[in-house]
Homo-oligomer: A and B are copies of this chain.
Amino acid sequence: MNIPRTSNPRVVIIGGGFAGVSLAKTLSKLEVQVVLLDKHNYHNFQPLLYQVSTGGLEPDSIAYPIRKILKDYKNFQFRLANVLEIDPIGKWIKADIGELKFDYLVIASGSETNYFGNTSIETHSMAMKTIPQSLNLRSLILENFEDALLTNDLNERNALMNFVIVGAGPTGVELAGALAEIKQGILPKDYPDLDTRLAQIHLIQSGDRILKEMSETASENAEEFLEELGVNVWKNLRVKGYDGKTVTTNSDVTFETATMVWAAGVKGAAIKGLDAENIDLRSNRIKVNAYNQLEAYPNIFAIGDVAQIETETHPFGYPMMAQPAIQQGKQLGPNIERLLAGKPMVPFKYQDKGAMATVGRNKAVVDMPKFKFQGVFAWFVWMFVHLFFLIGFRNRMIVFVNWVYNYIRFDREARLIIRPFKRKLKSDI
């Protein structure tokens, strides 16, 4: 991979998400050579991807160049690389751009969509874990409405205007709410020839409440908000398959739709090469001890979504969200410093800062460790927390301008098919 060794030990970090970037910052003053690898040259702010899909934000405002994050860290190297395999014994990794030896390895490769082996769903549904996927969904939604104008077959037209979102975690809830607002505010103006009132948004949850990681109060309030917006919330219903036209479930209920979004599961993006006993079969996350360290390989660590620390409070690991990732990244840096100095490491301590989700304008739910609230104030809190965690002053400004504009004008102007999904033009390739 053409990276010369220095006299310092080499720490290789796989992944520039919340975990990898937080760790990078804490390593900047240590006497180590750090190599950060990522498939993309940008860090992206996943919690706002649903706003890209629904035309509220441009993708460039929630992404940030990784090289710019690292530019003042003299001991850093970045490589645009897709890591394919790890050799934990030989201490090297294999990527699409070559091989690299490491002294310490930190796997921060995040998570990916979990289809639980259902290939019909994987083939025909849309996911929303990356910027390109979010842009594909944005294009598909718009293309479906354009296509709805072309048919006189009412069933086909309705299927093009219907949305089925599977999974009522924050992603599913936020996407459903945003689509409902588009249905109310934008579709009637953009498509006066379509009876857009017929467009249906279905949010399907296999369990008995939405936002199941949050409090029951939050679940109830969010459900109420969704119903106010006209979203059809289905609970205790499990989606079984989707052939591109019909969504089948474990009951008699079926849905005709040209757009099914799968937000019903994520799994760790574990990388080939580690022995099976290091991987949790159910979650595909890497099992690590309280120091984020693999028991079998003391020089290999995992942090963030891909890492599973099993504790009494969290027997299946911490939630796959930004906060545990950021905190693990921040705490691993000093632990690597201790390790290099021959000192004992300090176990990871998770500070639960709560959770929040937004359903629509003035409609959000917030669970803080000590109190819970919802509505307008929660919505403002949600916005400012998200602006705060965005990287970069420019990004914050651009997102802020968009949000103020969208709020005042009830609008979402990034409804642009810049990356066609269904009808690709030769001139656009």
Given that A59-B58, A63-B416, A82-B425 are known contacts, is A401 also in contact with B395, CB under 8 Å in the complex?
A: no
Most buried by B among A59, A97, A398: A398
User: With A and B bound together, what is the CA distance between A408 and B76 in angstroms?
Assistant: 26
Chain B residues, CB < 8 A from A26: none
Give every chain B residue within 8 A of A192 (Cβ-Cβ). 71
Task: Establish whether residues A65 and B190, one from each chain, have CB atoms under 8 Å apart when the complex forms.
Answer: yes
**CB under 8 Å from chain B, chain A span 135-165:** 135, 142-143, 146, 149-152
Tell me whether A2 is interfacial, beta carbon within 8 Å: yes
Which of the residues B58, B130, B393, B428 comes within 8 Å of A60, measured between beta carbons?
A: B58
Complex Cα spacing A417 to B409, Å: 31
Contact of A63 with B418 in the complex, beta carbons under 8 Å:
yes
Instruction: Please determine whether B60 and A132 come into contact, CB atoms closer than 8 angstroms.
Output: no
- Residue-wise, chain A 392-408 has the 8 Å CB interface mask toward B (1 for contact) of 11110110011001000
Cα A64 to Cα B415 in complex, Å, equals 8
Segment touching B, from A38-46, A195-203, A208-216, A329-337: A38-46
* A361 is an interface residue with CB less than 8 A from chain B: no
Residue A61 at the B interface, CB < 8 A? yes
Does the CB pair B405–A65 fall under 8 Å? no
A2 to B112, CA, bound (A): 41
A131 in the interface (beta carbon within 8 A): yes
Known: A98-B150, A417-B41. Is A193-B77 also a contact (CB below 8 A)? yes
Most chain B CB within a 10 A radius of its CB, from A63, A80, A425: A80
Q: Does A423 contact B (CB under 8 A)?
A: yes
**Separation of A414 and B59 alpha carbons in the complex (Å):** 10
Q: Does A30 contact B (CB under 8 A)?
A: no
Interface size class of A (residues with CB under 8 A): 35 or more
Of B65, B393, B413, which one neighbours A394 at CB under 8 angstroms? Answer: B413
Q: Is A189 in contact with chain B by the CB < 8 A criterion?
A: yes
Contact in complex: A418, B190 (CB < 8 Å)? no
Given A1-B150, A59-B58, A131-B418, check contact A413 B190 (CB 8 Å).
no
Contacts of A295 in B (CB 8 A): none
Q: Is A419 an interface residue (CB 8 A)?
A: yes
A60 touches B416 (CB 8 A): yes
A56 to chain B, nearest CB (A): 11
Q: When the two chains form their complex, are residues B41 and A150 in contact, meaning their CB atoms are under 8 A apart?
A: no
Let me know if A67 is at the binding interface, CB within 8 A.
Answer: yes
Which residues from B are CB-within-8-Å of A425?
A: 39, 82
Does A6 sit within 8 A of B, measured CB to CB?
A: no
Answer yes or no: A96 CB below 8 A from chain B CBs.
yes
Q: A2-B151, A394-B405, A405-B397 are in contact. Are A415 and B71 (CB under 8 A)?
A: no
Per the bound structure, the CA–CA distance linking A409 and B417 in Å amounts to 31
Complex A-B: 6 CB contacts under 8 Å: A41-B415, A59-B416, A130-B427, A132-B427, A133-B427, A394-B409
